[in-house]
Structure 1
């Protein structure tokens, strides 16, 4: 179905409003989490279907503005915007097998200050506002072309080569296309911008908002909704081009809709500084889409924080199609095209909620992000790589080898030791420098380039894997929900410690006493250890914390216990006693915290116990420090390799000092190729190759036709070539260049011996010429030069065509206005 000519004209005229330049875009916004939660429509319980969510890290089963603005970070680059934006996940449906795979997606989020003919004042979103656009129950039989609410949902089929200009079958439309889209699908959602001025929500989540009188995307507000808010519009880019198109039914939303009419979007306000938003609305009239052209917003940009932002809350304990195909959509969502009677669905299993981050093994604590050694590896005792890497996997591996320090790096690498080596120390760097997602859990960070996510256990060797028992949601929203909207500790476990079977709740240990009610936040005020149980009492929590060497215990939401030795992450402010108002799950006569409020207990005899130098709340009073013995012997069960020490530019996998069991016949230094590495030829096909010198220190390498070496240039932590990347233990110059060439990119760069990056131009301040000596690291298999630390051996292709580009992940970092001017 296409828009009518009359409506098309209306849309074209509406794009010519006087405020055409007064907008900005949060472009290329990546998802925070994909799970079956919806704190607007299904507050306090499981959502009806899976959503892909962007924005603030305190997303969860419930929404509270004060909680939302305590988010540690946002996937939005402007970190003062801690709002959440979400839409249903779109799946590829293999109609021959019935399998469903979640397709990668990202967002462009537009803020459009648009006054109508009456030139009304445009206002920022009020604190606590939530709203939705679209209708999950909409289908083509109910579509009304004259309805602004229906017009607000539409699609563009992206074809950056413009092969279908003027073809009505490729024009903007309100439902799915009947063909594939060579550069992805753009799903578009325009929210109502007129507020009644009183209600922050309504029973249908719509009645408190309205579209303007003249058009859905511009005009004056009706008298019933007189407050004109900034217009919100977002585009969800979905990489449908990565999957075959098999006719109608190939694309399916998480709600079962196969037509596209069931698209909808949700928004909850999390602007931590509403005055900042108002300032941008009032003073950025010439931004023309660019945040950088709006000084108040640009001052709050932190791309590193947006890239590294972790979701530390609760997710539904079910597969949603991100880790492999599923056969049934989560929830009661049979596939339906809107004709006939909607199919029935099998009984929903009603899974519980679990912590999004894989809990660390017992005894292990997250310390923070640290830098690699200045002249070699920080940890040289043992190492491994895995396509299933998480911080817990790394800690488990190091524990099994008897090491007390574990560091996860570059998403899939793990390194172990008992001391810091080669100039490394336990001094933490900014958390956002560890921004690489774990290969085995995309919701968790596992280090970064030259950065390690550090974990510590003072007594390794006996750690136990922590399993999670799903929490059953309450099923109804409450002012103080019994299910935490965010349970932020990565070490949280639902396995309760042993408690007394006596009828009387256990008392707090000797020397411990109540210390009032204090504030908590999403980053956690007490972050040394945590667990949850449905038999929680103050004695249970305090005794557990005491047994693990902590001097402070805090109880929250009736059933959660947190331990530490000092307040962290800006929490610990004194609250009124009434803020701790929830009964303990194991003793209704006692109080166990509240919503983001901790009932605090402390041990006066050890309240000043020392912490590791890194600032972590480790249970041990012995500092994790580079002052430990500089060459502590390896555990008796392993033998440290006598390989030569690595150089200052050591690659993540080359020339490692590896500790392996002495009886082993194979070296741990040769892990298998990560499953996530793309398949490619070991060298470019000889029929289309040109021998060229790949660098001053390299031998002659066969490259694809048209490619040549361009020297050694600088990289940055934000990446100089950022359109595609992979890492591999069999990296060669030829394989990297062939990979980038196959995707249509005109530039390829090799770094740290095993990393390959693709793009069309240098970005993020990199690309400055460096001497050849800066690219002094060899490829792991062919001996050629493969870059250096933050140094790229670059290869370029003359007259590269972009028509054949296909990326392996969602890659729409900015809106291509040539493909349409909808908003």
Structure 2
């Protein structure tokens, strides 16, 4: 896929994800920073500083054995305890000081590429790769990958690309830091070698591996016939967060590179062998759009608490690398080029002694205590009820009586004891550090969730024994004290509890809009969705109308009816904002909660969904920009006839990436799950671009805040260049 830019030299930017259909992608947080590089400088201080993600045992003496025995991984797939590292990025001030540029870690892609993708094998144990050349300071247009007539070679320098993410339209990619004025960050991207000679697991000169002919596609050379997963790494640097930037200042990588041509990355395998083998065989080639949930072997160890469960470890090299420094770590000199940097550019004066390498004791995986719902766990007679979804809104908390936070001490037992001392029977742990109490579970909550994956702060900081789980992101582990001698109403000996039985809040909340008229003869005031329940409550109606994509308004009527909508129709007009019931407006008690008001005859108690966010067409998505909607009347076939796919979890991003992979300029989504591509709109189909405003659009099943066309029309995207 050729792309040339008006630059000197004219280069082929690495539009890596343009071909991507089959891959998986995972986020990784930082696990260590410093001059650690067990590939190039095994057992010693490395020449320059790196930022490392992955297995917690990474250090100067790391091997496959030590990595696989890491206590944890800072990547969201816990079975991957490999280590991945890239150079740190600094800002060089005119006065000679350096400030580390913040970033939160890296995104790692595993891809199946080229015509022989089905022959891809997993990385062997102790396999290691280094990609890039730290000494480069200009574009190398001479060194090429191996290729033939069918699959021509490509400059090896195209393994690197930089993307500047401004507030406005996206910019093209280049193999150097062409622009650092990036409001939304500068992303460094690099591809690894995908071909192996089948002999050595690592060689210092990296001759054991080679690139595919097209780096991000193509075939392996005859000397390296074994194809491995194509590893691709992204690191997003928050360049706009660096204060006091001046025209004389500049960004520089830790090896003294102000150009970006010397960007590089290392990989040391630490995968659980059976997991990587299964994922390579069953998940790397199928068209899965990178979603881990499509791959059972990966999904089994996925968790969204990876940065909490496996925080950054203390530096092994005793020198500062964070914050404002008076020199680059290792006293590296900045070398501008265009000539390659010398092999050693360190120049520390005698006043700066070599840093100490701190001894590190390799950790081992800590077992996790995972109770089964219905079993006793923690303090005696406390029964585990399960993992529940939990809303941050106080009225929808699973347990919403009282709560406290204590990261350093938080364990399941700590929370159970705290709630019992306050007189509450139920206790719940969440976000690794929160403890919630109540005597009843909010009926809006649902058990049986799998997102409770965050380790309790108290068991993490103790460093001994088993780890415990303390909920997760928006999810809570709930326990019930079943001791018959415990009186949850505060009569227990030595208990000053003041708990009360759970009761939904009476009256109205701050999101109450008022009592509105509703005439069935002239049409309902809210026409989005409707349900009825003999035991209706405000909470039930709110849950019904705000679930999924969610409506902007919900209203209750006749004590048992619930109506939803995004606008008020002709019959809907405000009668009063007074929440006090009266015979002329809303005065009927809710069937499921007598303290509450659920409208009245032909009048609605109306509330606004404070969390409502309307869906919209996302733009831009890479190079593609949202257009008007495209009608698809079905005359002479579809309006776009280049390629198509369907997916029950379709999103706008998914369709655009599919069409980008097919090198099509247009991408259109229809009926929520159908994706069509083409380089032109088929005129004979009768298609027209029309406004989407008055169309009955469908939300995307994979993202409720995106539109995915509708019946007989497409949400249309277009890119002027491929």
Q: Please show how residues 74-473 of structure 1 align to structure 2 within 5 Å.
A: 74-95=73-94, 98-116=97-115, 121-140=119-138, 144=142, 146=144, 148-159=155-166, 161-162=168-169, 170-204=171-205, 206-212=206-212, 214-243=213-242, 246-247=246-247, 249-274=249-274, 276-283=276-283, 284-305=285-306, 307-311=308-312, 315-321=316-322, 324-338=323-337, 344-347=347-350, 348-354=352-358, 391=408, 406-407=409-410, 421-422=421-422, 434=432, 453-454=457-458
CA distance in 2, matches of 1:275, 1:451: 22
CA distance in 2, matches of 1:33, 1:819: 38
CA distance in 2, matches of 1:803, 1:219: 31
Unpaired stretches in structure 1, ≥5 consecutive residues: 165-169, 358-365, 385-389, 392-405, 437-447, 456-488, 492-523, 529-567, 570-611, 615-624, 631-641, 650-692, 699-709, 715-719, 722-769, 775-791, 805-813
Q: Are the structure 2 counterparts of residues 263 and 697 from structure 1 closer, same or farther at C-alpha, using a change threshold of 3 Å?
A: same
* Structure 1 residue 301 displacement after superposition: 2.1
Aligned residue in 2 for 1:735: none
1:241 counterpart SS class: helix
Q: Are the structure 2 counterparts of residues 802 and 419 from structure 1 closer, same or farther at C-alpha, using a change threshold of 3 Å?
A: closer
Contact 2:410-2:458 within 8 A present in 1 as well: yes
* Structure 1 residue 63 displacement after superposition: 1.8
Contact 1:407-1:453 within 8 A present in 2 as well: yes
* Structure 1 residue 137 displacement after superposition: 1.7
Q: Are the structure 2 counterparts of residues 109 and 343 from structure 1 closer, same or farther at C-alpha, using a change threshold of 3 Å?
A: closer
Q: Are the structure 2 counterparts of residues 141 and 218 from structure 1 closer, same or farther at C-alpha, using a change threshold of 3 Å?
A: closer
Of the structure 1 ranges 221-230 and 307-316, higher mean CA displacement relative to structure 2 is found in 307-316
* Structure 1 residue 68 displacement after superposition: 1.5
Contact 2:40-2:204 within 8 A present in 1 as well: no
CA distance in 2, matches of 1:62, 1:356: 10
CA distance in 1, matches of 2:223, 2:263: 27
1:303 counterpart SS class: coil
* Structure 1 residue 332 displacement after superposition: 2.7
CA RMSD of aligned residues (A): 5.7
* The one of 503, 511, 524 aligned to 1:695: 511
CA distance in 1, matches of 2:99, 2:8: 36
CA distance in 2, matches of 1:221, 1:450: 42
Structure 1, residues 567-605: CA drift from partner, whole Å, max 9, x if none?
Answer: x68xxxxxxxxxxxxxxxxxxxxxxxxxxxxxxxxxxxx
Number of matched pairs:
462
Q: Are the structure 2 counterparts of residues 490 and 287 from structure 1 closer, same or farther at C-alpha, using a change threshold of 3 Å?
A: same
Q: Are the structure 2 counterparts of residues 328 and 109 from structure 1 closer, same or farther at C-alpha, using a change threshold of 3 Å?
A: same
1:352 counterpart SS class: coil
* Structure 1 residue 297 displacement after superposition: 2.5
Structure 1, residues 311-330: CA drift from partner, whole Å, max 9, x if none?
Answer: 55753233322xx4222222
CA distance in 2, matches of 1:643, 1:93: 59
Q: Are the structure 2 counterparts of residues 42 and 137 from structure 1 closer, same or farther at C-alpha, using a change threshold of 3 Å?
A: same
Q: Are the structure 2 counterparts of residues 92 and 15 from structure 1 closer, same or farther at C-alpha, using a change threshold of 3 Å?
A: closer
* Structure 1 residue 123 displacement after superposition: 0.9
Q: Are the structure 2 counterparts of residues 136 and 59 from structure 1 closer, same or farther at C-alpha, using a change threshold of 3 Å?
A: same
Q: Are the structure 2 counterparts of residues 427 and 196 from structure 1 closer, same or farther at C-alpha, using a change threshold of 3 Å?
A: farther
* Structure 1 residue 259 displacement after superposition: 1.2
* Structure 1 residue 279 displacement after superposition: 4.2
* Structure 1 residue 189 displacement after superposition: 0.7
TM-score, reference length from structure 1:
0.46
2:173 counterpart SS class: coil
2:240 counterpart SS class: helix
* Structure 1 residue 286 displacement after superposition: 1.0
2:305 counterpart SS class: helix
Aligned residue in 1 for 2:41: 42
* Structure 1 residue 154 displacement after superposition: 1.5
2:224 counterpart SS class: coil
Contact 2:192-2:230 within 8 A present in 1 as well: yes
* Structure 1 residue 199 displacement after superposition: 0.8
* Structure 1 residue 433 displacement after superposition: 5.4
Contact 1:157-1:181 within 8 A present in 2 as well: yes
Contact 2:101-2:237 within 8 A present in 1 as well: no
CA distance in 2, matches of 1:352, 1:427: 47
CA distance in 1, matches of 2:423, 2:236: 44
1:82 counterpart SS class: coil
CA distance in 2, matches of 1:95, 1:31: 29
* Structure 1 residue 35 displacement after superposition: 2.8
CA distance in 1, matches of 2:281, 2:297: 10
CA distance in 2, matches of 1:305, 1:350: 34
CA distance in 2, matches of 1:202, 1:160: 43
* Structure 1 residue 188 displacement after superposition: 0.7
TM-score, reference length from structure 2:
0.51
Unpaired stretches in structure 2, ≥5 consecutive residues: 146-154, 362-367, 371-376, 379-383, 385-396, 435-451, 471-480, 487-494, 503-508, 515-537, 544-548, 551-591, 597-607, 621-652, 664-721
Q: Are the structure 2 counterparts of residues 281 and 3 from structure 1 closer, same or farther at C-alpha, using a change threshold of 3 Å?
A: farther
Structure 1, residues 272-313: CA drift from partner, whole Å, max 9, x if none?
Answer: 034543444445411122222334333332223564223557
2:258 counterpart SS class: coil
CA distance in 2, matches of 1:272, 1:86: 19
Q: Are the structure 2 counterparts of residues 354 and 221 from structure 1 closer, same or farther at C-alpha, using a change threshold of 3 Å?
A: same
Q: Does 1:60 align with 2:59?
A: yes
* Structure 1 residue 334 displacement after superposition: 2.7
Contact 1:374-1:422 within 8 A present in 2 as well: no
Structure 1, residues 155-195: CA drift from partner, whole Å, max 9, x if none?
Answer: 11123641x6xxxxx42111112441122111011001111
